[in-house]
Amino acid sequence: MRDAQPCTIFLSDYRVPEFLIDSTTLKFELGETNSIVRSVLELRRNPESDSQDAPLQLHGTELELVSLSIDGRELAPSEWSQSGEQLSIAKVPAAFSLSCETRLRPQDNTSLEGLYKSSGMFCTQCEAEGFRKITYYLDRPDVMSVFTVEIVADQSRYPVLLSNGNLVATEILADGFHKTVWQDPFPKPAYLFALVAGKLSVVEDQFITSSGRGVDLKIYVEEKDLDKCDHAMLSLKNAMRWDEEVYGREYDLDIFNIVAVDDFNMGAMENKSLNIFNTSCVLAKPETTTDAGFQRVEGVVAHEYFHNWSGNRVTCRDWFQLSLKEGFTVFRDAEFSSDMGSPTVKRVEDVTLLRTAQFAEDAGPMAHPIRPDSFIEISNFYTVTVYEKGAEVVRMIHTLLGPELFRKGSDLYFERHDGQAVTCEDFVLAMEDASGIDLRQFRNWYSQAGTPRLEVSGSYDKRAQTYTLAVKQSCPPTPGQTEKAPFHIPLAVALIGDAGQLPLQLADAEINTESADNTELVLSVSQPEQQFVFNNIKEEPVPSLLRGFSAPVKLDFDYSRDQLLRLMRSDSDGFCRWDASQQLGLAEIKRAISALAAGQNVSPDAEYINACRELLADTSLDAAMVALMLQLPSEAYLAEIIHPVDVQGIHQAREALRKVLAQALKGELSACYSRCESDEAYAANAEQIARRSLKNTALAYLMLLEEEQFIALAIQQFESSANMTDRLAALTYIVNSESEYKAKALQRFYQQWQHEPLVINQWFQVQAMCRLAGTLETVQGLMSHPAFDIRNPNKVRALIGAFCGQNGVNFHREDGAGYRFLADQVLVLNRSNPQIASRLLVPLTKWRKYLPAAQQLMRAELQRVLAEPELSSDVYEVVSKSLQDYS
Ligand code: B3K
Ligand code: ZN
């Protein structure tokens, strides 16, 4: 629980560590009532520190200290003192051995940080600052040490005992106990330490690295899940090969372990050679897992594997540099997924997340640069900004340098900093040094928060045959940053003429650009206002802007409807094509809002309907793209565009528009559905995923018509599909309809899958996301369902998280009951699992966006949370910052 004065930590206060730890030996005795940890640390003063007589200050929290000795002599209580999370020993030699014994109760650890128990097994989570819940230590990422770990436990309860690195000894002990010893030759910070002990089954495979070394790959799961590991194993091998081919990075140990656990605060953790995964990010089989689930497993397995270089071999100096490893690794996993599947679809999905969640964060009270300047609780900074915007920043470097120079830069970065704990600055410097490209101004992306806005206008001079793009950039104020310096923004453009893209020739050859071919250019926007003049333009073109979403900005260009239709029909850039469809959809939704407000019917533009009709009929197009283009901008995206946000008004207008579209396109949707049906065996490949996505998009529209024939179609799909993608889609549409079959469908689904927790989470989620009235009461009822468990983060996310974060129309009920429900749950979780509590709170923190009545109700709930006397630092930071006036 919170200290009296939660303190803010500043990047500017960074100092090198006063001590270094050359080696760390840990001995664990795992028991049912207590677990004992004995550590021996070989410490010495850091020659680089400027205070050579400072006391030794170790981190430690929620620990029972049994004994402490230096060079074999036990310290008297007067020789050390404790305050908050610090244990200080005033007098220590220049180099010494510190032994420490602590007693823990992992079975009572509900925070899922440090050493805890999940479904009867012991496991750990140490990033960012969980190691200090295991023993007293210099728990900071710039202190790297080699670890030897001995684990002793009851052999029948815990036959598998794992830690990082190589297994160097095993021993059978008396009284049914056994012991294993693990040694990790690579120095690492404590946040990468891991331990697992439990009854686990294993799936094994092998990977031969490019230099011919064999690596044993093992995925440890509960026995019942052995049939759900193939996809993760294949993804791992694909990721290992990809990292060799694309980044020249080879795996460095003879063993790579993955363990799946049920209770986990996030997706997975990249502990050196012992990755620990949330079961939801490793287990997959067609009968239980949706296409999205399969893709998530592939992405997360790759992400954690890629961390072995971008994060482990080269780690972060301090937690302000988190994006150094996370932004870079997200960029790497996105490129991997793109290479494994459909690049445009992956890009559109990533941009959608960025434009909804990240842009909202950047416009809200918790806005921070990808390298924050300060924090109260680092756990609150594992954000879409640090991860996804961080990845966009790396992507922009890739765009500015081009693939070859970027690779030279990453090679130099890994070579220069292997075995070190470094900063974002070191990364940018390596990119600059390897490429010779000046990134001075580009660095503003690391230090400034907020989403830049680009206002672009175009003018054609027929006589001079020039086309001019005038670009104006600005960035709104964010907490603590009122004025922003201009950013260096790569703006990818093409000019589209009647017969396709025009050759581009800039009037000012001095302007720094990268050219993909001569019909696409990356303009370097760097000034508040700038003009780019193209010569020899023989007809008035339609500009295609921000191609591939070349920068994380909001772009305004006053396109006419016809220009957007042209881009939607024929732009060669998949992202821009999709984006044009979204801009057209947005315009239709805005018209629908006005129509409903004026008591009129919603009647979309005939040309827009025709364009959708063409899409449905065009079998030459990628089915996944058709599905994405047919989906109207989400309510979450609309809440970023339309201010103040009238949740009910937006929802009604969007739904009314969808219904009119469904009616107008009924024949085409029906035909499309039939065309996409197939009885081939399930595979999680791009082609099949695309087909299922289009089929279910068509069904979703048809269900809005509430016609018997389509309800029957959904019921049939629900009952007869062999894969979870189609079953769950059908269940979702049935649950959101007035069909009488609804209760039966839910009951049958539960009956069939009650022994599969991950499937039951989906069952909770479908109900929590139901758009119909009364969903809050359903959710409240489900909180006491025997399958619900508030200690399990996946269940909390599936029920409470999905309701509050993804069901706007019900969460924002006008009586404020949704807000009250969330605040109540946050207060409960604040005690058991502060990280999950503060994450859950996010939807309330956006209160300033909504209509005045909603604002008042949301704020009142935040104030009620803030008034709680024992608030964790996690919740305190989010709630207090969200109430602060920063305008
Ligand atoms: N590095 C971990 C995240 C740890 C979060 C700690 N609160 C997973 C990942 O990004 O790969
Ligand atoms: Zn990561």
Residue 377: CB within 6 Å of ligand 1? no
**Amino acid at residue number 314:** V
- Candidate of 129, 270, 319 to mutate for ligand 1, largest count of ligand atoms within 8 Å of Cβ: 270
Distance CA 9, CA 20 (A): 22
The protein residue with its alpha carbon nearest to ligand 1, atom 9, reads 269
In this prediction, residue 508 has a pLDDT band, given cuts at 50, 70 and 90, of confident
- Going 641 to 645 to 647 to 648, the CA torsion angle's sign is negative
- Are 406 and 462 in a shared domain? no
125 φ/ψ angles, rounded to the nearest 5 degrees: -145, 115
At which of 537, 557, 577 does a domain end?
557
Report how far residue 373's alpha carbon sits from residue 11's, in angstroms, rounded to the nearest whole number: 5
**Quick one: pLDDT band at residue 510, thresholds 50, 70, 90?**
low
| Shortest-distance Cα residue to atom 5 of ligand 1 | 127
Report the CATH number that the domain containing residue 176 is assigned in CATH: 2.60.40.1730
Ligand 1: atom nearest CA of 125 is: 6
- Residue 585 domain flag: no
**Tokens 């949704």 belong to residue:** 818
Same domain assignment for residues 41 and 156: yes
Is residue 703 within 8 A of residue 714, CB to CB? The reply is yes
Q: Are residues 424 and 474 in the same domain?
A: no
Same domain? For 152 and 263 the reply is yes
Which atom of ligand 1 is the closest one to the Cα of 267?
A: 8
Asked if residues 338 and 346 have their Cβ atoms less than 8 Å apart, the reply is: yes
Q: What is the CATH number of the domain that holds 465?
A: 2.60.40.1840
Closest ligand 1 atom to the C-alpha of 835? 7
Same domain, 138 and 104: yes
Cβ–Cβ under 8 Å, residues 299 and 233: no
Residues 369-415 have pLDDT tens digits of: 999 999 999 999 999 999 999 999 999 999 999 999 999 999 999 99
Give the ligand with the smallest distance to the CA of 327.
2
Q: Is 270 in the pocket of ligand 1 (CB under 6 A)?
A: yes
Instruction: Tell me the C-alpha distance between 306 and 312, whole Å.
Output: 9
Q: How much is the pLDDT for 512?
A: 55
Q: Best mutation site among 192, 269, 329 for ligand 1, i.e. most ligand atoms within 8 A of its Cβ?
A: 269
Q: With 80 as the cut, is the pLDDT of residue 5 above it?
A: no
Nearest ligand 1 atom, CA 303: 11
Q: pLDDT-derived band of residue 559, with 50, 70 and 90 as boundaries?
A: very high
Among 557, 590, 614, which residue terminates a domain? 557
| Average pLDDT of the residues of the chain | 97
**266 CB near ligand 1 (under 6 Å):** yes
Dihedral of the alpha carbons of 7, 10, 15, 21, in degrees to the nearest 10: 60
Residue 6: per-residue pLDDT: 87
Centre a 10 Å sphere on the Cβ of residue 867 and count the other Cβ atoms it contains: 9
Q: Are residues 28 and 67 in the same domain?
A: yes
The angle formed by the CA atoms of residues 143, 217 and 263, to the nearest 5 degrees, is 65
DSSP-based three-state secondary structure for 575 = helix
Q: Name the strands in the sheet holding 121-125, side by side, starting at the edge strand that comes first in the sequence.
A: 114-118, 121-125, 195-198, 160-163
Which residues lie at CB < 5 A from ion ligand 2? 326, 329
How sure is the predictor about 22, in pLDDT bands with cuts at 50, 70 and 90?
very high
Q: Is residue 583 part of a domain?
A: no
pLDDT of 516 strictly over 70: no
Alpha-carbon distance of 427 to 17, in angstroms, equals 21
Are 63 and 36 in a shared domain?
A: yes
Ligand 1 binding pocket includes 361 (Cβ within 6 Å): no
The mean pLDDT value for 101-111 works out to 98
State which residues form the domain around 90: 19-222+237-276
Q: Which of 264, 278, 326, 383 to mutate to test the pocket of ligand 1 (most atoms within 8 A of CB)?
A: 326
List pLDDT tens digits, range 119-150: 999 999 999 999 999 999 999 999 999 999 99
Which residues lie closer than 8 Å to 612 by C-beta, 6 or more apart?
629, 630, 661, 665
Q: From the CB of 379, is ligand 1 less than 6 Å away?
A: yes
Domain match, 352 and 260 both? no
380/510 same-domain check? no
Do residues 70 and 98 lie in contact, with contact meaning Cβ atoms separated by under 8 Å?
yes
393 assigned to some structural domain: yes
Is 435 found in the same domain as 416? yes
Please indicate, yes or no, whether residues 263 and 122 belong to a single structural domain of this protein: yes
Total domains present in the chain: 3
What pLDDT shows up at residue 886? 77
- Mean pLDDT, range 719-727, rounded to an integer: 98
Query: pLDDT tens-digit profile of 205-224?
Result: 999 999 999 999 999 999 99
Catalytic residues: 304
The answer to the question of residue 644 being in a domain is: no
What value does the mean pLDDT take over residues 799-804? Answer: 99
Q: What is the 3-state secondary structure (H, E, C) of 144-170?
A: CEEEEEEEEEECCCCCEEEECCEEEEE
Number of Cβ within a 10 Å radius of residue 91 = 11
- For residue 110, give Cα distances in angstroms to 119, 306, 382: 12, 29, 20
Edge to edge, what strands does the sheet with 554-557 contain?
A: 529-534, 466-474, 453-461, 554-557
Residue 438 and residue 482 in one domain:
no
The domain boundary, picked from 557, 580, 605, lies at 557
Assigned domain for 816 exists: no
241-296 pLDDT, tens digit per residue, is 999 999 999 999 999 999 999 999 999 999 999 999 999 999 999 999 999 999 99
Selection from 106, 146, 113 nearest residue 127 by Cα: 113
CA of 320 to the centre of ligand 2 (A): 14
Strands 145-154 and 19-29: parallel
Query: From the CB of 797, is ligand 1 less than 6 Å away?
Result: no
Structural domain contains residue 264: yes
Residue 397 lies inside a defined structural domain of this protein: yes
- What's the CATH code of the domain at 424? 1.10.390.10
Question: Which atom of ligand 1 approaches the CA of 128 most closely?
Answer: 6
The bound ligand whose nearest atom lies closest to the alpha carbon of 380 is: 1
Residue 73 lies in a domain: yes
Q: Are 279 and 268 in contact (CB under 8 A)?
A: no
> Of all protein residues, whose CA lies closest to atom 3 belonging to ligand 1?
269
Bridge pairing between strands 177-188 and 195-198? unpaired
